[in-house]
Amino acid sequence: MNAVLRYGLARLRTSRGRTFLRASGIVAAAAMVGAAVTVAWGLSTGFDRAASRAQLPDAIASFDALPIGDVSARVGALPNLRAAAYRLTISGRHVESNGNESGHATLVGVRSGPRAYALLGGHDLQADGQAVVEAGLARAWGVRPGEPIAIDGRAFDVVGVGLSPDTVAFPLAKGPRLWLRYEDVQALAGAPPGAVNQALLWVRDPGQLDVTLAQARAASYGVSGLQFVTRTGVRALVADAGGIVIALLIGFSIAALAAAGAMLAATAASDVQRRLSSIGLLRAVGASRAAVALGFGVEAALVAFPAASLGVFLGWLVASGPSTRLLESVNELPPGRSLAALLVFADAAIVVLVAAASALPAWRAARRSPLETLAAADVRGTPPRAPLPSGPAGLGFRLALARPFRTAATVAVLGSSAAIILLILTIATVLAGLRTSPAAVGRRYQLTIDGPASAAREVARIRGVSGVTPRWSVDAADSFDLGEPFTLVAFGGDHTTWENPPLAEGRRIRNDHEAEVGLGLAEALNLHPGATLAAQVPGGRELRFRVVGIDRVLQEEGRVAYVEPRRLLDATPWAQSTLAVKLAAGADAGTIESELATQGLFGSSSGGISSDSVRGWAQRNGGFVSILVSLLRTIAILDGLVCLYVLAQMLALTAQERRRAVALVRACGGNARQLAAVFAGAALPVAALAAPLGLLLERNVIGPTVSRLAATYVSLPLTAGLVPIAIVTCGLVAAAYGASWWVGRAAVVEPVVIGLREE
């Protein structure tokens, strides 16, 4: 066996306390890695997993009910078609079970063919009077296979629990979804025999789906209410719905990974630094550089393997529950065995990282002559280039400066974490405000008022109003296919200063011959940047626009097109207009609405987003908003703990690496309080640099990015306010003090003389 490795193993045996401490650090960092991997992998792959298991169709065509023979004849003629299934779906039905009830249930009548939902428990429909309930309903109401459920007053037996990721789960969704045999739904709906209103399409080549859909549109003459939703579109919408949360969780995971990686590498490198004299000695007695590096690497790996395995397991244990619940709420599946492979890989990566972080510094150290290595066993001081503070805190500051790269890495990790916390707190504040004040949504205007464009100047004079513009919306239909209705929307100025849906593709409009279309409309009409949107407006005139951008608009299911007003008003001088009103900071919407009412102007429920509609959304989704707010705040707390861990680890490393300096301070009369002051001198400058760095990152990078990712039709003002900034700054300072106090206390446990003997 390699002599260096023998020495390393002997050291592990004799220095059990130190080995345990080292392993504890690896356990903590590996736990963060385990949690981060569990969350990031689970959330980023949840949709694909659920879609695959449920065999989600490539496209779903919805239309007003037609005889199945008529539909299947047209569908059967489509190119690229692999399979098709037909459904009769009805909504707004009453269901009741286990003392719970809902009047918004959706019933899906299933005919033969692929079922397009995954069975999570029980069995599939085999006879009339049976129901498969969605997993969200089963969880929320505690319904299990074998139990009864009443649908529109008729008794059914629950035989299975199903899941389909094409929408979010109950109770996040307004009503639950149940799959029944076709005949049951047809009877409940009172529909004619054979009537269906949905066709599920699976294609051979998903890359050619647009050709199939174009053909389907061409073959849809006489079909009313036709709408297509593609699997890609569903994915985009579901991803958008959880976009902020998932982006934040992944951001948190990356910050945690960076923190863990930096700390693992720093711990290993510090251990080698402390053992430079041993390396010098080994070289002096003839050990080769490779033998030194290999010995240190293997020794580190022997400690890292069990510690990393335990840590990754603990991280998974902590994170898998919450991430599974989040996935369940959006009808997605937890990762299962695929995560196990990834966790094993993460475990191996940690072991390799720790081994490399030990072997490389040992290799570098062994490059020097044995004498030089023996002499370099202590950290070299950094000559002060500027006046530095004196006293214990000044000493701590210099200890931090003696390790510039570690200190910079700590500042970077803390700054990133602070940015994420700032963003999370800001979003939580916005969401919490949404429950009581629709204006808190942060869209670019707060009120929609019925009134002519000419009233804008009058409204602008009202105290508390900071901006007004007319908003015109005109119902239109696609000239090529009159079955495709949509809405043309125009503002008195640049629409993005009033409504700013994120761009999925292309660019914003620049002239009155261009249009941005919503994702829903683009999918329905197969529109891409460069395509032509032919809009037939009331009165029979046709307006043609060149599509330049696709917007992620959720309003009216995305069947909206933004255009400049001039040509729209030329074609429809009678176009209905409302006024979009921006309120000044601190202005009270109620007071302004009252004042407007005295002038005969009232809040509108048509066009734009009215206060009432947002309130309604907020009331329906109040529970989900509460879950989101508490989830976000939990992540913020976890991220805060990461900050505390990073600071404590940095100080613990300093205390371990500078054990003799700590002992010297104690020999000179320093107590736990003064050692805490020394460590605070190292931690506070780091926190003081991290806070503004976090603010800069949040304002200029993360905030705008997440704002673009935001699912909502409105743009979220994700610029941190004073309260989150104060919380994060105070939190960082408190973490610095807390970590200093803890490390200071820990440093006085052993007799002074032990630290002085440290080599």
Partner 1 sequence: MSDRVVRARGIVKSYGEGRATVRVLDGVDLDVERGELVTVLGRSGSGKSTLLHLLGALDVADGGTIEIAGTRIDGAREPVLVDLRRRKVGFVFQSFYLLPELNGFENVLLPARLVRGSDGAVARAHELIRRFELGEQALRLPATLSGGEQQRLAIVRALVNDPALVLADEPTGNLDDESRAAVLALLRRVADDARAVVLVTHEREAVELADRVLRLKEGRLRP
Q: Give min distance, CB of 417 to partner 1, in A.
A: 28
Question: Which residues contact partner 1 by CB under 8 A?
Answer: 378-384, 390-392, 394-395, 398-399, 401-402, 660-661, 664-671, 674, 748, 751-753, 756
Q: Give min distance, CB of 684 to partner 1, in A.
A: 17
Cα 602 to Cα 449, 578, 590, 605: the distances in Å are 5, 10, 11, 10
User: Residue 501 corresponds to which tokens in the numbers above?
Assistant: 């849906």
- Name the H helices within 151-230: 182-189, 209-218
> Is the Cβ–Cβ distance between 144 and 230 less than 8 Å?
no
- Measured from the CB atom, the residue of 402 and 535 that comes closer to partner 1 is 402
Q: Give min distance, CB of 6 to partner 1, in A.
A: 22
Name which of 106, 100, 196 is nearest 139 in CA terms. 100
- Measured from the CB atom, the residue of 186 and 270 that comes closer to partner 1 is 270
Query: Which residues, including other chains, have CB under 8 Å from residue 335's CB and lie 6 or more apart?
Result: 41, 42, 45, 46, 49, 342
3-state SS, residue 613: helix
Q: Give min distance, CB of 665 to partner 1, in A.
A: 7
Q: Give min distance, CB of 660 to partner 1, in A.
A: 7
Give the DSSP letter string of 723-742.
HHHHHHHHHHHHHHHHHHHH
Q: Give min distance, CB of 382 to partner 1, in A.
A: 6
Q: Could you write out the three-class secondary structure of 432-493?
A: HHHCCCHHHHCCCCCEEEECCHHHHHHHHCCCCEEEEEEEEEEEEEECCCCCCEEEEEEECC
Name which of 299, 267, 332, 314 is nearest 44 in CA terms. 332
- Measured from the CB atom, the residue of 530 and 669 that comes closer to partner 1 is 669
Distance from chain centroid for Cα 420 = 11
Query: Which residues, including other chains, have CB under 8 Å from residue 332's CB and lie 6 or more apart?
Result: 46, 47, 49, 50, 165, 238
Name which of 488, 472, 467, 605 is nearest 535 in CA terms. 488
Cα 245 to Cα 250, 426, 429, 558, 659: the distances in Å are 9, 13, 14, 22, 43
- According to DSSP, the β-strands at 195-203 and 59-67 are antiparallel
- Measured from the CB atom, the residue of 381 and 692 that comes closer to partner 1 is 381
- According to DSSP, the β-strands at 154-163 and 130-134 are parallel
Q: Give min distance, CB of 675 to partner 1, in A.
A: 10
- Measured from the CB atom, the residue of 293 and 686 that comes closer to partner 1 is 686
Cα angle 685, 689, 690 (rounded to 5 degrees) comes to 115
- Measured from the CB atom, the residue of 356 and 746 that comes closer to partner 1 is 746
Distance from chain centroid for Cα 232 = 19
> Is the Cβ–Cβ distance between 385 and 210 less than 8 Å?
no
- Measured from the CB atom, the residue of 539 and 751 that comes closer to partner 1 is 751
Rounded to the nearest 10 degrees, the angle between the axes of helix 672-697 and helix 622-657 is 130
Q: Give min distance, CB of 375 to partner 1, in A.
A: 10
* Max CA pair span of the chain: 98
- Measured from the CB atom, the residue of 387 and 540 that comes closer to partner 1 is 387
Q: Give min distance, CB of 14 to partner 1, in A.
A: 13
Q: Give min distance, CB of 279 to partner 1, in A.
A: 19
Cα 433 to Cα 172, 367, 438: the distances in Å are 19, 61, 8
- Measured from the CB atom, the residue of 667 and 696 that comes closer to partner 1 is 667
Give the Cα separation of 616 and 81 in Å (integer): 41
- Measured from the CB atom, the residue of 123 and 757 that comes closer to partner 1 is 757
Q: Give min distance, CB of 667 to partner 1, in A.
A: 5
Distance from chain centroid for Cα 161 = 27
- Measured from the CB atom, the residue of 34 and 755 that comes closer to partner 1 is 755
Ramachandran bin of 194, using left for φ above 0, alpha for ψ from -120 to 50, beta for the remaining angles:
left
Q: Give min distance, CB of 678 to partner 1, in A.
A: 10
- According to DSSP, the β-strands at 514-518 and 542-551 are parallel
- Measured from the CB atom, the residue of 390 and 598 that comes closer to partner 1 is 390
> Is the Cβ–Cβ distance between 575 and 569 less than 8 Å?
yes
Give the Cα separation of 136 and 379 in Å (integer): 59
The dihedral over CA atoms of 284, 290, 296, 302, expressed in degrees to the nearest 10, equals: -140
Q: Give min distance, CB of 751 to partner 1, in A.
A: 5
Q: Give min distance, CB of 692 to partner 1, in A.
A: 25
Q: Is the dihedral of CA 185, 187, 192, 194 positive or negative?
A: positive
- Measured from the CB atom, the residue of 336 and 669 that comes closer to partner 1 is 669
- Measured from the CB atom, the residue of 310 and 393 that comes closer to partner 1 is 393
- Measured from the CB atom, the residue of 268 and 661 that comes closer to partner 1 is 661
Q: How many CB atoms lie within 10 A of CB 745?
A: 13
Q: Give min distance, CB of 664 to partner 1, in A.
A: 5
Q: Give min distance, CB of 648 to partner 1, in A.
A: 22
- Measured from the CB atom, the residue of 381 and 623 that comes closer to partner 1 is 381
- Measured from the CB atom, the residue of 99 and 387 that comes closer to partner 1 is 387
Give the DSSP letter string of 503-526.
EEEE----STTEEEEEHHHHHHHT
Q: Give min distance, CB of 662 to partner 1, in A.
A: 10
Give the Cα separation of 709 and 247 in Å (integer): 8
Q: Give min distance, CB of 293 to partner 1, in A.
A: 26
489 strand-pairing partners: 473, 562
Radius of gyration of the chain (CA): 32
